[in-house]
A and B are shown apart, each in its own frame.
Chain A
């Protein structure tokens, strides 16, 4: 089936605005992850959803960041009152379960002016 789909692919917004990023995981994948990748850097874990369990939010950098997922479907990552340091590529991944390979989307490139 289709891979992980993220939208928008690019987002440019002004400092202080809120943004919402969307991730459609691979159908049947119970686990979903959000990562942030700054230019030339590795991937930074943000949040992990597994089925109906409470999400692991330990990687969210501040309370301006939040994410939701309904069941085993779409997830949204929301950044409120964006700051210039939020500029990065936000990657979503899904997997069949814990300790299974993670399949990544192409990411959303977020630029804060």
Chain B
């Protein structure tokens, strides 16, 4: 089957850097995505890694190591508005584009 593990909660202060880890076990892995979801809102796409290495998008970076079945999301220069849940999601399924989501990491940014 498929499973993903990520920490349930992380707390950090404004201006800091935080890393949210994600480990996965799945067959037919095609890539790892990260989504942000504010309380009561829709998930929004942050990044996608299909190959090993680091992808940078502004203050957010995402890393993937396929050999280690591991990835992380790095948030720099944290702002209060970054307080949200962050989900890693594995793309798998061959011809289909199913996403299997982790249970999410609740990030609390404190002043």
A98 touches B103 (CB 8 A): no
Determine the chain B residues whose CB is within 8 A of the CB of A4 once the complex forms: 42
Interface of B is mostly: strand
Quick one: which of B41, B45, B103 contacts A42, CB cutoff 8 A? B103
Let me know if A56 is at the binding interface, CB within 8 A: yes
A104 touches B31 (CB 8 A): no
Quick one: which of B42, B89, B95, B96 contacts A105, CB cutoff 8 A? B42
A4 to B103, CA, bound (A): 23
A56 touches B93 (CB 8 A): yes
Instruction: Show 13 A/B contacts (Cβ-Cβ < 8 Å), sorted by A.
Output: A33-B99, A42-B87, A42-B104, A48-B96, A56-B93, A56-B98, A59-B98, A93-B43, A95-B97, A98-B97, A99-B31, A102-B33, A102-B99
